[in-house]
């Protein structure tokens, strides 16, 4: 196989200045794709990250600021990028509280960023993918797109919605060279998870290691976090010709969580 199977493809990865999005961007760049990094910030560090990724992998990497909580910015991201061949809907946030105490603004933000942004970006990208006769839409859902946990009402709702959107996108795109699938990670040690550790330590009165082993990885039979490199590898596989007929499905990377 060519060292650069994705050469001349352009990938937009939403929410990619850290964590899983960055892992996916790195893997696609390593496979030769030009990449558009994104987040809602516009720091020198964001642009420096794009420049260093471009140098590391010898591809064109740009950073485009767009707030995925705003439909018009989702659509503008795709337009400013000049379209794409690969769209990875990855941006996401988390908030944990009982339903009756869940702040309305957190509900709205999670639904907007974790779910509706995938719809708006996909809607903006599809005409270009159809015109090229090839495309990949990859939605980063979650084990929480397939199963639930208490106190994560907005997140679980949004991720189940993303899995539904994945199936509809796949059906509408079928036969046009365009596939759509969802990757469903279990726990991956990224900033979104790091932030939850001190909260869980307080809630459960446990130390860090015990929270990791007994609260987080308790759901993950392998007893290990998945890595951003592994998620990147799955996304890159979904862009290969071996995955031409994989569409409308979910791929779990969760150490066995959803097999329980």
Task: Provide the binding-site residues for ligand NAD, judged by CB under 6 A.
Answer: 15-21, 39-40, 67-69, 90-93, 113-114, 140, 142, 185, 187-188, 190-193
Phi, psi of 30 (to 5 degrees): -65, -30
Q: Which of 31, 232, 218, 11 is nearest to 140 (CA)?
A: 232
The residue (of 194 and 244) whose beta carbon lies closer to ligand NAD is 194
The nearest distance, CB 183 to ligand NAD, in angstroms, is: 8
Q: Which tokens go with 49?
A: 């990250």
Q: Which of 95, 130, 155, 187 is catalytic?
A: 155
The nearest distance, CB 100 to ligand NAD, in angstroms, is: 23
Burial class from Cβ neighbours inside 10 Å (0-12, 13-18, 19+) for residue 78 reads: buried
Count of beta carbons in the 10 Å neighbourhood of residue 210: 13
Strand, helix or coil for residue 190: coil
The residue (of 68 and 239) whose beta carbon lies closer to ligand NAD is 68
The residues with which 36 forms a beta bridge, in sequence order, are 12, 62
Distance CA 230, CA 239 (A): 14
The residue (of 130 and 138) whose beta carbon lies closer to ligand NAD is 138
The residue (of 93 and 137) whose beta carbon lies closer to ligand NAD is 93
The nearest distance, CB 83 to ligand NAD, in angstroms, is: 19
Give the DSSP letter of residue 226. B
The nearest distance, CB 141 to ligand NAD, in angstroms, is: 7
Q: For residue 155, indicate whether it is catalytic.
A: yes
The nearest distance, CB 245 to ligand NAD, in angstroms, is: 25
Say which residue the tokens 């929480």 belong to: 144
Q: Are 143 and 93 in contact (CB under 8 A)?
A: no
The residue (of 4 and 18) whose beta carbon lies closer to ligand NAD is 18
Catalytic positions are 155
């Amino acid at each position: 196989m060519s060292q650069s199977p994705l050469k001349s493809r352009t990938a937009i990865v939403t929410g990619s200045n850290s964590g899983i999005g960055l892992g996916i961007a790195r893997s696609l760049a390593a496979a030769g794709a030009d990449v558009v990094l994104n987040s809602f910030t516009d720091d020198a560090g964001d642009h420096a990250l794009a420049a260093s990724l471009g140098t590391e992998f010898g591809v064109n990497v740009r950073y485009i600021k767009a707030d995925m909580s705003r439909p018009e910015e989702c659509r503008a991201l795709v337009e400013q990028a000049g379209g794409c061949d690969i769209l990875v809907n990855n941006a996401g946030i988390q908030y944990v509280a009982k339903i009756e105490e869940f702040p309305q603004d957190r509900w709205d933000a999670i639904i907007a960023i974790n779910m509706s942004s995938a719809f708006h970006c996909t809607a903006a990208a599809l005409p270009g993918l159809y015109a090229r006769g090839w495309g990949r839409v990859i939605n980063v859902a979650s084990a929480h797109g397939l199963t639930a946990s208490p106190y994560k009402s907005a997140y679980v709702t949004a991720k189940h919605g993303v899995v539904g959107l994945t199936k509809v996108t796949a059906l509408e795109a079928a036969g046009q060279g365009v596939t759509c699938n969802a990757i469903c990670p279990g726990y991956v040690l990224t900033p979104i998870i790091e932030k939850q550790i001190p909260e869980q330590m307080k809630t459960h009165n446990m130390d860090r290691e015990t929270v990791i082993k007994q609260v987080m990885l308790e759901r993950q039979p392998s007893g290990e976090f998945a890595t951003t490199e592994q998620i990147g590898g799955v996304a890159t596989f979904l862009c290969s010709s071996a995955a031409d007929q994989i569409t409308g499905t979910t791929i779990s990377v969760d150490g066995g969580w959803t097999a329980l």
